[in-house]
A = this chain, B = another copy of it.
Amino acid sequence: MVLVVILKALADENRLRILNLLRKGELCVCEIEAILEITQSNASRHLNKLKNAGIITYEKKSQWVYYKINETFVKDNALLFDYLNNYMDNNSQFLKDLQRLKEYKNNRITCA
């Protein structure tokens, strides 16, 4: 069932933290690794799971793979997406991650 696949993909703290970051725009794998302090293989795996559920899409640009939220998914699951948005905007863990994202973006232009 599609709904189960979506909910399973969302039901993981690391994947929710990734999604939280992607709300602010596309990111490559190594940026996600650095900001969330998770291993490379883990980041890649979680992104793959979100992609397989249709929640995010990716685009390869030279050696980097940029992941972003799938706008079709957002349209098709607007209420769910609004719920997550609202939850993340009011949760300290997610806000902390967004702060780290901002610092990361201010300090570095490229990856690693």
Contacts and interface: CB of A to CB of B under 8 A. Distances in A.
Contacts of A82: 79
Interface of A is mostly: helix
Contacts of A13: 1, 4
Contacts of A86: 79
Interface residues of A, number: 19
Contact of A79 (B1, B79, B91): B79
Interface string A68-92: 0000000001011011001100010
Contacts of A37: none
Contacts of A12: 4
26 contacts: A1-B13, A1-B16, A1-B91, A1-B93, A3-B16, A3-B87, A3-B91, A4-B11, A4-B12, A4-B13, A4-B16, A7-B7, A7-B10, A7-B11, A8-B11, A10-B11, A11-B11, A77-B83, A79-B79, A79-B80, A79-B82, A79-B83, A79-B86, A80-B80, A80-B83, A83-B83
